[in-house]
Amino acid sequence: MVMKVSDLGCLDGPVLLFGGPYSNLQATRALLHQATARKFDSDHLICTGDVVAYGADPDASVSAIRASGCAVVAGNCEVQLADGAGDCGCGFSPGSTCDRLSAGWYAHADAALGRDQRRWMKSLPDLAVFSHQGRRCAVIHGGISDVARFLWPMSGDEEFQNEISIIEDELGKVDMVFAGHCGLAFQRRIGRVDWVNAGVIGMPPNDGARATRFAILSGGDVWIETLDYDHAGAAAAMRRVGLTQGYDSALESGYWPSEDVLPPELR
């Protein structure tokens, strides 16, 4: 397996990490406004991928992320769209509700994106690495064994360790791993490695509230923070373009339209 790796260098100041803008332009703009208000330099912003997914504005969301200058690792949506694939590559069970619902938003994204945006997606690394306060940090999307691998807060230690081993085969020893994909922010200690899912900004974490999540790394510690944004405007934008499969309502209710991807403990 040949991986594209981006070395982001030494980032000793505070770092803002986020995932899943999901074509939600309102959430994307709110996150970037937060970054500006908190005086984060663009080279201290890192996205764990899936810039494009459920929302109404794939092209504008990609443009906003690119203009921000933040680092981005490839999510499964970027991989699939760059390759001209016919689906999002999320690994949903065929015929499941999530599988059926994904067809609408993926087709919308596929139709909206031009060659330049796809070339940018194709150029994204699979893995990024940086140092922070003497600790070595890796950034991935879902997994390295599978970009769309779902790792949940209660997944077994061995599942995380499998991914850490692949990362360290490529990079050498790491102290922290930042990931995304599953849509839920959480932190786990796996042996000597801190695993942090930074969450996603484009969809609430199925908790009945509208705020989404991002992470801040500062002084070697990580905080998961909430992001408030114009969820009503984002939902209305989805309805204007015909994206009414249920993710539009999820922005307002705080609950996903299907839980069949979730482990039973989280349903």
Average pLDDT of the chain, as a whole number: 95
Bridging pattern class, strands 71-72 and 127-132: unpaired
The predicted structure's pLDDT at residue 102: 75
The predicted structure's pLDDT at residue 258: 85
127-175 pLDDT per residue, tens: 999 999 999 999 999 999 999 999 999 999 999 999 999 999 999 999 9
Tell me the CB-side half-sphere exposure of residue 31, using CA atoms within 13 A.
36
Q: Count of CB atoms within 10 A of residue 232's CB?
A: 12
Tell me the CB-side half-sphere exposure of residue 221, using CA atoms within 13 A.
3
58-92 pLDDT per residue, tens: 999 999 999 999 999 999 999 999 999 878 877 66
Least confident of 11-20, 189-198, 257-266: 257-266
The predicted structure's pLDDT at residue 99: 63
pTM of the model: 0.95
The predicted structure's pLDDT at residue 92: 64
Q: Which residue is listed with tokens 């309805």? A: 239
The predicted structure's pLDDT at residue 95: 66
DSSP for 160-214, please give it.
HHHHHHHHHHHHS--SEEEE-SSS--EEEEETTEEEEE---SSS--SSS-S-EEE
Residue 122 has pLDDT above 70, yes or no: yes
The predicted structure's pLDDT at residue 260: 82
Q: Which residue is listed with tokens 């609430």? A: 204
Residue 101 has pLDDT above 70, yes or no: no
